[in-house]
Structure 1
Amino acid sequence: MRGTTHFQYCQKLVVIDPATDSILLARRKGEADYDGVYSFIGGKMETTDGTILDAIRREKEEEIGQAATILIAEDLSYNILFKKKDGNSMILPHFYAEYAGGEIELNEEYSDYVWVPKDQLDSFGPMIQTIPEAVRWAAEIGEMVKKGQGLTKL
């Protein structure tokens, strides 16, 4: 159908370790738009996902394993529109998340991961260009969450 636009919904987790004030970034491997570049974890919602939270939980478990525990503010997101090299568009909702412990076990989509101190983020690279703005948003949300908004365990 002419004029129809299709969007992929691709949720991202801005994972902050509150103990070190560091951000979890993973290096993409074999990805068309950002191969070798650090990004947040997360991925596309699938038709088999019952809810957005189900999709976030599935992606977290696929990408960093079940042993890692993440707490998220599921009702708040920072949304970015992204145009892929192939012309398709993606809506990227970013969710505030806190690392609560456990081993991180990356899947085949990533070659490695790092914890980047928030105050060193602007000089870190290579990373997706929208990461600093999403982290600034997440830091503000984190302050709200600490005042009683609440987190959901993944």
Structure 2
Amino acid sequence: MSKFDFQYCQKIVVFSKDANSVLLCKRKGENDYDGVYSFIGGKMENNDGSFIHGLQREKNEEVGEEFKIEIYPFFTTNAIFKKKSLELMILPHYYARHLGGEIKLNEEYSDFQWVAVKDLKTFEPKIPTIPDMVDRILKLVRLISPEELVQI
């Protein structure tokens, strides 16, 4: 592995329509965090063309095309993660708001839950950084104007 190798893995922090809950999906068959709830999203692919196309592809693959969200593509809050394989991942977290549509999980997940923001610290099992990422996103939301949101 080169000292410059890393994966860019976009995460979508989907808030409910009333902004009181966030969508978490339970990972299945993963080397890292198997059986643990996480945000949806995944690695950028060479043919994605743009951040938005990559986010839309991952959203469609993981929770279905009928599940509609508005996403803020201009600012993220970021985390870094070292996998068991020692590969590094850069994880930009994007704000999104659920507009409608049914969730249809793919084979990467076994369950989903809308978890109240106020309950995130005690909800388990989850990726440990989730409460902090949501707190950061909530600070960012104050800067967003509705016309800047992109529907995917």
TM-score norm. by structure 2 comes to: 0.95
| % identical equivalent positions | 49
Letter in 2 for 1:103: E
Partner of 1:58: 57
Separation (CA, whole Å) in 2 of partners of 1:142 and 1:89: 28
Go from structure 1 to structure 2 and tell me whether the alpha carbon gap of 1:18 and 1:143 turns closer, same or farther (over 3 Å shift). farther
Q: Which runs of 5+ in 2 are unaligned?
A: none
Structure 1 segments (4+ residues) deviating >4 Å? none
Partner of 2:35: 36
Partner of 1:23: 22
Partner of 1:101: 100
Partner of 1:48: 47
Alpha-carbon shift at residue 4 of structure 1 (Å): 2.5
Letter in 2 for 1:89: L
Q: Which runs of 5+ in 1 are unaligned?
A: none
Go from structure 1 to structure 2 and tell me whether the alpha carbon gap of 1:71 and 1:148 turns closer, same or farther (over 3 Å shift). closer
Matched, 1:78 2:74: no
Specify which structure has the higher proportion of helix.
1
Alpha-carbon shift at residue 149 of structure 1 (Å): 6.4
Separation (CA, whole Å) in 1 of partners of 2:140 and 2:19: 17
Separation (CA, whole Å) in 1 of partners of 2:134 and 2:19: 15
Partner of 1:150: 148
Alpha-carbon shift at residue 5 of structure 1 (Å): 2.7
Separation (CA, whole Å) in 1 of partners of 2:102 and 2:32: 28
Separation (CA, whole Å) in 1 of partners of 2:95 and 2:77: 9
Deviations 1:93-139 (A, max 9, x none): 00001011110101000000000000111110100011001100111
TM-score norm. by structure 1 comes to: 0.94
Alpha-carbon shift at residue 143 of structure 1 (Å): 2.2
Aligned residues: 152
Separation (CA, whole Å) in 2 of partners of 1:118 and 1:89: 28
Letter in 1 for 2:26: R
Go from structure 1 to structure 2 and tell me whether the alpha carbon gap of 1:37 and 1:74 turns closer, same or farther (over 3 Å shift). same
**RMSD, aligned CA:** 1.4
Separation (CA, whole Å) in 2 of partners of 1:35 and 1:97: 24
Secondary structure at 1:75's aligned position in 2?
A: coil
Secondary structure at 2:7's aligned position in 1?
A: strand
Separation (CA, whole Å) in 1 of partners of 2:146 and 2:69: 17
